[in-house]
Amino acid sequence: MWLRLRQIAVVAEDLRRAALDIGAVLGAEACFTDPGVKMFGLKNTLWPIGSQFLEVVTPITENTAGGRYRQRRGGDTGYMVITQVDDAARRRARAAELGIRVAFELSMPEEGHDGIQLHPGDTGGSFFEMDQMTMAGGDEPGGPWTPAGRNWQPYVRTDLVSAISAAELQAVDPEALARRWADMAEIEVGRDAVGNPVVPLDNASLRFVEATDGRGDGLGGIDVTTVDRDAVLAGAKARGCYVNDEQVALVGLRVYLR
């Protein structure tokens, strides 16, 4: 049984500005806009980072869940940690064992996609989504990923960054949140080099840190595997996203250059 980090979703006010920032700082090229998110009162764009994805959603109607979440968090913010699993049925059963509500069912057999979004009120930190690709080759690392459409591979650009190596969830009690996510993932909590609790996935890790920015619990950042740091920092400075030589700020996320 395995679990991979496949996509990070962010909710932002201005999709056009987000696109300009992501392109300039990460060197990424947009690959897909999903018309299906309109049912949630949203529009979106996805950018591949290697075989993973950064998604930005923007409310297009009043009183959407995404818009309310952004308001509660005080601006653009991390929204969902989206993973790929090899057995969605087992993940449903585990959520039921833990008494965690399923916020949305992603059962689309005709698309080769089966999955669940777990309710953030029960998970803590953010939405935790677990998706299985049931089509031929769906289990392969870097294989098909229906949330990004059928033709995302030609848009992959890895000259500046090549992967998302971690998601950083912040909490008033990071130890408790780490245990909660470890229970959901059925993976033991580990420690990183500085002692933060982590949940190691097959291709990345989930890191849990204390919330110190006044925004409370949430998805606060990501790590990216950096190929050309100078180019990333130059783009960040040009777009007003520079924090320091190890970190840039994008669509409400702390982006750490690893």
**CATH number where 207 lies:** 3.10.180.10
Instruction: Give me the residues paired with residue 45 across strands.
Output: 56
165: domain range? 161-257
Question: Cα separations (Å) of 25 from 46, 112, 219, 224, 225?
Answer: 15, 33, 20, 12, 13
How confident is the model at residue 53, as a pLDDT? 98
The C-alpha atoms of residue 12 and residue 252 are separated, in whole angstroms, by 8
Domain boundary among 125, 155, 185: 155
pLDDT of residue 226: 98
How confident is the model at residue 158, as a pLDDT? 98
Asked if residue 190 and residue 111 are part of one domain, the reply reads no
Residues 83 and 36 in one domain: yes
Identify the three-state secondary structure at position 29.
coil
Same domain assignment for residues 27 and 101: yes
Helical spans, DSSP H, in 48-117 = 65-72, 88-98
Chain position carrying tokens 């909660």? 180
Pairwise CA distance, residues 258 & 256, whole Å? 6
Q: What is the pLDDT of residue 104?
A: 94
Token pair belonging to 127:
């939405």
Residues with Cβ < 8 Å from 59, sequence gap 6 or more?
Answer: 11, 41, 42, 66, 67, 70
Res 236: pLDDT: 98
What's the number of domains the chain is made of?
2
- Do 129 and 167 belong to one domain? no
Task: Give me the residues of the chain with pLDDT under 70, please.
Answer: none
* pTM of the complete model: 0.97
Name every residue whose Cβ is closer than 8 Å to that of residue 115 and which is 6 or more positions away in sequence. 85, 88, 91, 106, 107, 129, 130, 131, 132
pLDDT at 118: 97
- C-alpha 192/C-alpha 127 separation (Å) is 23
- By the 10 Å C-beta count (0-12 exposed, 13-18 middle, 19+ buried), 16 is classed as exposed
